[in-house]
């Protein structure tokens, strides 16, 4: 049985959020915003990665740090949903 996404556009938004949070945590990961440009969010926020980064690669990040990114993503999504709900 094939599954279809309810909101296909959400993947890009979640990827952007993931890399923003990784940058806030100072994790050395990079994300390509388009086929022509590499953007290191950590570099933009003033945090220089200690090791060279590979485009869209997370294999060098510990499980603990990956979990921290996922946890903060969940917290932020819930916070945004609550803000939206309470402003209606």
Residue 12 is inside which H or E element, if any? helix 10-24
- Is residue 4 included in any domain, yes or no? no
- Is residue 5 included in any domain, yes or no? no
Distance of alpha carbon 26 from alpha carbon 85, whole angstroms:
31
- Is residue 1 included in any domain, yes or no? no
**Domain boundaries, position 81:** 10-87
- Is residue 3 included in any domain, yes or no? no
pLDDT in tens, 54-65: 467 888 999 999
How many domains are contained in the chain? 1
pTM for this entry: 0.65
- Is residue 41 included in any domain, yes or no? yes
Mention every residue, 6+ apart, whose C-beta is less than 8 A from residue 17: 73, 76, 77
Band (7; pLDDT cuts 50, 70, 90): confident
Round the CA-based radius of gyration of the chain to a whole number and report it: 15
Q: How far is CA 32 from CA 28, 39, 83, in A?
A: 14, 6, 30
pLDDT in tens, 10-47: 999 999 999 999 999 999 887 654 433 344 444 455 44
């Amino acid at each position: 049985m094939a599954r279809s996404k309810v909101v296909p556009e959400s993947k890009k938004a979640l990827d952007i959020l993931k890399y923003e949070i990784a940058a806030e945590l100072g994790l050395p990961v990079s994300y390509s915003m388009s086929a022509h440009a590499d953007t290191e969010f950590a570099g933009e926020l003033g945090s220089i990665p200690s090791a060279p980064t590979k485009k869209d690669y997370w294999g060098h990040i510990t499980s603990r740090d990956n979990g921290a990114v996922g946890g903060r993503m969940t917290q932020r999504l819930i916070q945004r949903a609550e803000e939206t709900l309470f402003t209606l």
